[in-house]
Chain A
Amino acid sequence: MLTEILQDAFFAAIAAIGFAAISNPPRAAYLYCALIAAAGHSLRYAMMSVPTHGLHIVPATLLAALLIGFMAVLLSPRCRVPAETFLYPSLLPMIPGIYAYKGFGGLVMCIYRGSESTFSHYFYIFASNSLTCFFILLAMAIGATIPMFMMKKITFTATR
């Protein structure tokens, strides 16, 4: 279990560094992005993997995003960068890409398949995956932005 959590943290850190590069952050920010993403993603993984009491992906994402948000705001003054610099690349590994993919696939198959029973099957796939995707995105956005509004003073004086 511990090995899997560490693996999850490692790959989340690599993903965060790569996605951070797209948004051209200051060099010092890469290490923090990796650290925050690893902490957030591995926390989500751990919460979902608890035997018999594992959390659903939506509340687990909300809690992980809150951790990411708090870490981003509290660490941003060290680098003198806006908290968003750490926040976005750290959140991106939690983007529900496979749910979006399956939701979109379900929609396409709904259009292609004619009979009522197959339509209902694919519509179920479309609806369940799309709703999960939407609520994960919502949990990510709300969880990550709440700390910014809770600690406005730190958020907006970090670059001072």
Chain B
Amino acid sequence: MTSTTMNSTESKQLPPYPAPTAQSMCAFLAEYATRLFSSGATCIRLEKNVTRIAAAFGMEAEMSILPRHISISVVCPGSGHSFTSVSAIREYPISFAVNAGLSRLSWDIADNHPDFSIIQQRFAEICSSPAVPRGALLLLVPLANAAFCRLFGGDAVAMAVVFAATYAGYLFKQLLGERGIDYRLTVIICAFISSVLAAADGLFGLGTTPQIAVGTAVLYLVPGIPFINSFCDMLDRHYLCAFGRMTHALVITACLSLGLCGGMMLMGLSMF
């Protein structure tokens, strides 16, 4: 991460306003980095954005990214002052709107050097950007899973069953999420509900592809983004973070399998 700090074109001009202190910059960058991480950014993007912001104020930033914490050190070359901040990564739903907004903010800081108070205000605005409405998600996710079922060779009945099973499972996911239930437990319960409902296709002899219906009904719970982010981090030699993300994804997959297995056992379904 050393090559991108001070030698880039991003830091040609210093801001016309009084620069923030290294201490306040360090606190801001710690908050920025943890929020960007939670929104689904990879480690390389985190490093690029954080060093870009620090360089825009004539400072250098170094960071170490751990699975649950981020440590940032900011050095002010003129005064020689340096500050270190260690922040816990809080759990937020993955949001590419926040990810994109924070990345744009870093470029705006590098190119236009806005006042530090304006930066903080814009950061708060981006972080509070609205999520996709619940109702829209309850339509789009089951529709996507039904399309998924078709891609795997499911017939029209299987698609309809998967739509209903996903609708019920996703509704429970939202309700349990609102009540602050542990995400792993939520995944087990939702996979159980979806697989029990999807078993209707086979139990009542509705269609010709009942196995595809059961197999697809739980796929909306697959942690695709942590899986792919872990590979991306691995390619960038962030092995510890890659391992953390991969382990998290595997734990969620195990919970999903547990719920699916429970649902099938209850319904007396054989997997083959």
Q: Which residues of A contact B (CB under 8 A)?
A: 8, 11-12, 14-19, 21-26, 29, 41, 80-82, 84-85, 87-88, 91-93, 95, 97-98, 100-102, 104-106, 108-109, 125, 137-138, 140-142, 144-145, 148-149, 156-160
Given A26-B100, A159-B100, does the pair A137, B148 have CB atoms closer than 8 Å? no
Given A85-B100, A97-B216, does the pair A145, B231 have CB atoms closer than 8 Å? yes
- Residues in chain A near residue B145, CB distance under 8 A: 15, 18
Task: State which of B78-86, B103-111, B178-186 sits at the interface with chain A.
Answer: B103-111
A14 touches B144 (CB 8 A): yes
Query: Distance (Å) between the CB of B245 and the closest chain A CB?
Result: 12
Query: Distance (Å) between the CB of B190 and the closest chain A CB?
Result: 13
Q: How far is the CA of A155 from the CA of B74 in the complex (A)?
A: 25
Query: Distance (Å) between the CB of B94 and the closest chain A CB?
Result: 5
- Count of chain B residues near A, Cβ 8 A: 57
B96 touches A15 (CB 8 A): no
- Residues in chain B near residue A91, CB distance under 8 A: 224, 228
A82 touches B103 (CB 8 A): yes
Chain B, 113-132, CB within 8 A of any chain A CB = 131-132
Q: Indicate if B70 sits at the interface (CB-CB under 8 A).
A: no
- Residues in chain A near residue B253, CB distance under 8 A: 100
- One digit per residue, 1 when the CB lies within 8 angstroms of any chain A CB and 0 when it does not, for chain B 147-159 equals 1101110000000
Q: Indicate if B227 sits at the interface (CB-CB under 8 A).
A: yes
A145 touches B100 (CB 8 A): no
Query: Distance (Å) between the CB of A141 and the closest chain B CB?
Result: 3
Q: Indicate if B6 sits at the interface (CB-CB under 8 A).
A: no
Chain B, 177-228, CB within 8 A of any chain A CB = 211-212, 214-216, 219-220, 222, 224-225, 227-228
- Residues in chain A near residue B232, CB distance under 8 A: 141, 145, 148
Question: A-B pairs with CB below 8 Å: how many?
Answer: 160
A19 touches B271 (CB 8 A): no
Q: Indicate if B267 sits at the interface (CB-CB under 8 A).
A: no
In the complex, residue of chain A having the shortest beta-carbon distance to the beta carbon of B93: A24
- Residues in chain A near residue B56, CB distance under 8 A: none
Query: Distance (Å) between the CB of A101 and the closest chain B CB?
Result: 4
Q: Indicate if B251 sits at the interface (CB-CB under 8 A).
A: no
- Residues in chain B near residue A95, CB distance under 8 A: 219, 222, 224
A24 touches B97 (CB 8 A): yes
B141 touches A160 (CB 8 A): no
B96 touches A19 (CB 8 A): no
Given A19-B141, A148-B232, list of 5 further CB < 8 A pairs?
A22-B141, A25-B96, A84-B41, A98-B216, A141-B228
In the complex, residue of chain B having the shortest beta-carbon distance to the beta carbon of A88: B225
A23 touches B48 (CB 8 A): no
A26 touches B97 (CB 8 A): yes
B103 touches A140 (CB 8 A): no
Q: Indicate if B45 sits at the interface (CB-CB under 8 A).
A: yes
Q: How far is the CA of A137 from the CA of B224 in the complex (A)?
A: 10
Given A85-B100, A98-B216, A160-B107, does the pair A11, B228 have CB atoms closer than 8 Å? no
- Residues in chain B near residue A92, CB distance under 8 A: 222, 224
Q: How far is the CA of A86 from the CA of B93 in the complex (A)?
A: 17
Q: Indicate if B40 sits at the interface (CB-CB under 8 A).
A: yes
A18 touches B143 (CB 8 A): yes
Q: How far is the CA of A22 from the CA of B99 in the complex (A)?
A: 14
Query: Distance (Å) between the CB of B8 and the closest chain A CB?
Result: 11
Q: How far is the CA of A153 from the CA of B43 in the complex (A)?
A: 16
Q: How far is the CA of A144 from the CA of B229 in the complex (A)?
A: 11
Q: Indicate if B140 sits at the interface (CB-CB under 8 A).
A: yes
Given A23-B96, A142-B231, does the pair A15, B40 have CB atoms closer than 8 Å? no
- Residues in chain A near residue B147, CB distance under 8 A: 11-12, 14-15, 18, 93
Query: Distance (Å) between the CB of B192 and the closest chain A CB?
Result: 15
Q: How far is the CA of A17 from the CA of B102 in the complex (A)?
A: 23
A145 touches B228 (CB 8 A): yes
Q: Indicate if B260 sits at the interface (CB-CB under 8 A).
A: yes
A97 touches B152 (CB 8 A): yes
Query: Distance (Å) between the CB of A88 and the closest chain B CB?
Result: 5
